[in-house]
Structure 1
Amino acid sequence: MLLIGDDWAEDHHDVEVQDGTGRKLAVATLPEGVEGIAKLHALIAKYGGADVDSAEVVVGIETDRGPWVQALIASGYQVFAINPRQVNRFKERYGTSGAKSDKGDAHALADMVRIDRDQLRPVAGDSEQAQAVKVVARAHQTLIWERTRTFQRLRNTLREYFPAALDAYADLALTSTDALELLIKAPTPATAAKLTRPQITAVLTRHRRHNRPQKAATIQTALREEHLGLPEPVTAAYAAAATAHARLLISLNEQIAELERQVKAHFLEHPDAEIYLSMPGIAEITGARVLAEFGDDPTRYDNAKARKNYAGTSPITRASGKSHTVQARYVRNNRLASALQLQAFSALNTSPGARRYYDKQRARDAGYNPALRQVGNRLVGILHGCLKTRTHYDEATAWSHHAQLYPS
């Protein structure tokens, strides 16, 4: 058996090759790309023999994505994606100075897959369809987060020189394209006060707003109210910044809408999509995010508990002496946790069983978030069962056990 620690960087990989006893066989710095992977294969052939069994080659690396990782998996090697935090803790066995080097990290990674391989999670063998869903779902969510950050910058800018705009466009939502177009058209208090109702109505009409005359009148009135002002050069500078943020938000709106179409298209092509959509509280975007983060490798989760642990919905117990506490998991996949919380919240209105289960948790003095997390935890277990048996969600079956324990 060959154990390989691979500390990757943007343009190279520092690797260490060990045998099954931990003896260091080779240390090398390999370039990224085809040339580097070919040199890695040559190292493996040199120390493992020309007929080395690829399954006997174990690689530890601090990522689970990218062409390099896919090439390792395609070669048949066992690949373990290890959290950098785990690597740092493992290195404390060697000393407590906190020293760091790429070669030292490669050595630690090789030692980890040799000593603690049973405690590590191999890179999931997700299908190409699941990987495609993951790419577009993550990109879509990242752009939404970026839009929120950009909106906050725009809002703070307007508060400093043009607070009337926040009130004027409140009914439209300042992230909407029509409100942003009006702001770009008149980015200062003086120019905004000169906007006519026909001009405002034209923008609202282009974006198919209802009650356009009433909305246009409200916006015009708000923009013409008296307010404190700043010197003209300062106002012009703020207006330039606000316009830049507004144009960026319009672009983000367009790209988010396009990516949303891509997310739905890729998700609906996946064979598990119907099972996900049968779950309460899950629509196409939420389903795509949950599928993306769970993956579709049928061997990844041994049981429902393993899936719940990965999701971060199941609690953790801290026991020492007479102390015994149960706490929420905070080290988890935040993208998945966010999607599952949204599903649990939506399920309260679509699933009587979920609502009843939530109410029971609240009756036990559980707070809002803990009770919702318990609903999410239960839904993850139900999803695992549906995926394992290839069946759609059934309300009566899913909550029958809890209905017997807690009759209405």
Structure 2
Amino acid sequence: MDQQDVDVFIGLDVGKSGHHAVALDKSGKKLFDKAMPNDEARLRQILADLSGHGKILLVVDQPATVGALPVAIAQATGAAVGYLPGLAMRRIADLHPGESKTDARDAAIIAEAARSMPHTLRSIALADETLAELGVLCGFDDDLAAQITATSNRIRGLLTQIHPALERALGPHLDHPAVADLLTRYPTPAALKAAGRGQVKARLKKHAPRAAERLTDAVFTALAEQTVVVTGTGAAGIVLPKLAEQLLSLRRQRDEIAAQVEALVEAHPLHQVLTSMPGIGVRTCARILTEVACKEFASAAHLASYAGIAPVTRRSGTSIRGEHTSRRGNKKLKRALFLSAFAALHHPPSRAYYDRKRAEGKRHNQALIALARRRSDVLFAMLRDGTLYQDPEPGKLPSTA
């Protein structure tokens, strides 16, 4: 909806149990300023009452999670919806008198920003069911990945405490189910010695037939390097098998989620477009869909800025000159584009661009960010036109990111 078409600007500071809404007309006159419960009936009633003043624009500070219901209701009633990013809101708040931080003040700031600074807003398109499901599944997958990392680190910490040599032998291989399974049965050095080489190898062979011999040799070589029993080994023998079982369970859950994500991604119309680009697999494709689809970007530079991969120029007189990596942007999308750029290094044109940046003196991460920036330009064109990826013609790669 064009700014000139809006008659009522509603700023909604969302919360878990309740929200605070402030409505302004075009002149800035306050039409509504009250707290309200996070309830569909009440939200519909307020929108219906304010619709008598004309067309409505509802702006929230959180379009997902606790803000999902107001956005859905506003879209269902035909109102336009927008999103004011948190960083922009805090900067706008500095322009207003006072230092208090209340729901009422935040809602008033959101409404005033919608009325007088529409360029600070981000549009919220009506997401389809597939993207909504992908968002939930990808969020849970992120949680599982964090729990897997925490559990693996805890296991490695306990092994380092009771037997450093054993940790050096098994710790780097905890991502293999055979090693986690071994620790559920033989969690301590004494248990491994008592089981003997034959039983340990047989246990490993169930999940790692080709690596069983090598892992068994590594385990018993490590066991021979320490003869003393460290204090706390008994308690570690109680905790380690539970942690190993938890690690196996988390990995099984993540595999199940990955299968469901893959099915949803393959059913999406943009699946073939995104995966045609080297370095984009199922998980990266899902993350790009949840963070980019249903959002409007005016240009490739806008997408790069949103992702936080556009370089930031800093200049002040003659003492400060240079470009730096942005610390802003959508962190999830930035990570997805960064990892996809890393995965694309096997692709000759991408590798050539990366090597060129390295030759210019950029460090590894800087060269990858530059490659990700270049790929985001291509990604923008692919999404805009619905076309598949095509390798650049020889000699036509740009010399700068």
Q: Which amino acid aligns with 2:26?
A: G
Aligned to 2:220: 220
Structure 1's 367 and 192: CA in aligned 2 closer, same or farther, altered over 3 A?
A: same
Structure 1's 164 and 79: CA in aligned 2 closer, same or farther, altered over 3 A?
A: same
- Contact kept? 1:168, 1:223, Cα under 8 Å: no
Question: How far does the alpha carbon of each residue in 1:249-286 deviate from its partner, in whole angstroms, 9 at most, with x for none?
Answer: 11111111111111211111111111111112222222
- Identity within the alignment, %: 28
Q: How does 1:1-16 map to 2 (within 5 A)?
A: 1-16=7-22
* 1:194 positional shift: 1.0
> What secondary structure, in the 3-state scheme, does the structure 1 residue paired with 2:81 have?
strand
Which residue of 336, 346, 351 corresponds with 1:349?
346
- Contact kept? 1:275, 1:393, Cα under 8 Å: yes
Aligned to 1:167: 168
Aligned to 1:38: 41
Aligned to 2:285: 287
Aligned to 2:270: 272
> What secondary structure, in the 3-state scheme, does the structure 2 residue paired with 1:388 have?
helix
Structure 1's 283 and 400: CA in aligned 2 closer, same or farther, altered over 3 A?
A: farther
Aligned to 1:192: 192
Question: CA separation in 2, counterparts of 1:16 and 1:212?
Answer: 66
* 1:140 positional shift: 1.7
Aligned to 2:141: 140
- Contact kept? 1:358, 1:372, Cα under 8 Å: yes
Question: How far does the alpha carbon of each residue in 1:306-363 deviate from its partner, in whole angstroms, 9 at most, with x for none?
Answer: 111112222122334444432211112222111111221222211x222222222222
Question: How far does the alpha carbon of each residue in 1:138-184 deviate from its partner, in whole angstroms, 9 at most, with x for none?
Answer: 3223321221122112212221123243134257x123322122222
Question: How far does the alpha carbon of each residue in 1:30-71 deviate from its partner, in whole angstroms, 9 at most, with x for none?
Answer: 222xxx23222322332431xx65xx2112212121333222
Q: Does 1:334 align with 2:334?
A: no
> What secondary structure, in the 3-state scheme, does the structure 2 residue paired with 1:401 have?
coil
Q: TM-score, normalised by structure 1?
A: 0.87
Question: CA separation in 2, counterparts of 1:288 and 1:45?
Answer: 37
Question: CA separation in 2, counterparts of 1:370 and 1:222?
Answer: 39
- Contact kept? 1:138, 1:289, Cα under 8 Å: no
5+ residue gaps, structure 2, are 1-6
Aligned to 1:245: 243
> What secondary structure, in the 3-state scheme, does the structure 2 residue paired with 1:175 have?
coil
Question: CA separation in 1, counterparts of 2:9 and 2:146?
Answer: 39
Number of residue pairs matched by the alignment: 390
Structure 1's 215 and 93: CA in aligned 2 closer, same or farther, altered over 3 A?
A: closer
Question: CA separation in 1, counterparts of 2:59 and 2:317?
Answer: 36
Aligned to 1:76: 78
Question: CA separation in 2, counterparts of 1:134 and 1:357?
Answer: 32
Structure 1's 270 and 252: CA in aligned 2 closer, same or farther, altered over 3 A?
A: same
Question: How far does the alpha carbon of each residue in 1:346-393 deviate from its partner, in whole angstroms, 9 at most, with x for none?
Answer: 22211x222222222222222222222111111111111122222211
Q: Which amino acid aligns with 2:342?
A: F
Moved more, 209-218 or 276-285: 209-218
> What secondary structure, in the 3-state scheme, does the structure 1 residue paired with 2:329 have?
coil
Question: CA separation in 2, counterparts of 1:247 and 1:89?
Answer: 47
Q: How does 1:88-127 map to 2 (within 5 A)?
A: 88-95=90-97, 97=99, 99-127=100-128
Structure 1's 200 and 379: CA in aligned 2 closer, same or farther, altered over 3 A?
A: same
- Contact kept? 1:166, 1:174, Cα under 8 Å: no
Question: CA separation in 2, counterparts of 1:316 and 1:328?
Answer: 6
Question: CA separation in 1, counterparts of 2:184 and 2:77?
Answer: 54
Aligned to 2:3: none
Q: Does 1:313 align with 2:309?
A: yes
Q: How does 1:54-69 map to 2 (within 5 A)?
A: 56-65=55-64, 66-69=68-71
> What secondary structure, in the 3-state scheme, does the structure 2 residue paired with 1:402 have?
coil
Aligned to 1:156: 157
Structure 1's 208 and 186: CA in aligned 2 closer, same or farther, altered over 3 A?
A: closer
Structure 1's 325 and 184: CA in aligned 2 closer, same or farther, altered over 3 A?
A: same
Q: Which amino acid aligns with 1:390?
A: G
Question: CA separation in 2, counterparts of 1:88 and 1:220?
Answer: 58
> What secondary structure, in the 3-state scheme, does the structure 2 residue paired with 1:169 have?
helix
5+ residue gaps, structure 1, are none
- Contact kept? 2:56, 2:79, Cα under 8 Å: yes
Moved more, 68-77 or 9-18: 68-77
Moved more, 180-189 or 161-170: 161-170
* 1:216 positional shift: 2.7
* 1:400 positional shift: 5.6
Q: How does 1:393-408 map to 2 (within 5 A)?
A: 393-397=389-393, 401-402=396-397
Question: CA separation in 2, counterparts of 1:118 and 1:157?
Answer: 53
Q: How does 1:253-268 map to 2 (within 5 A)?
A: 253-268=251-266
Question: CA separation in 1, counterparts of 2:395 and 2:290?
Answer: 29
Question: How far does the alpha carbon of each residue in 1:79-123 deviate from its partner, in whole angstroms, 9 at most, with x for none?
Answer: 2222333323222223353x2112222222212211212221122
Aligned to 1:86: 88
Aligned to 2:28: 22
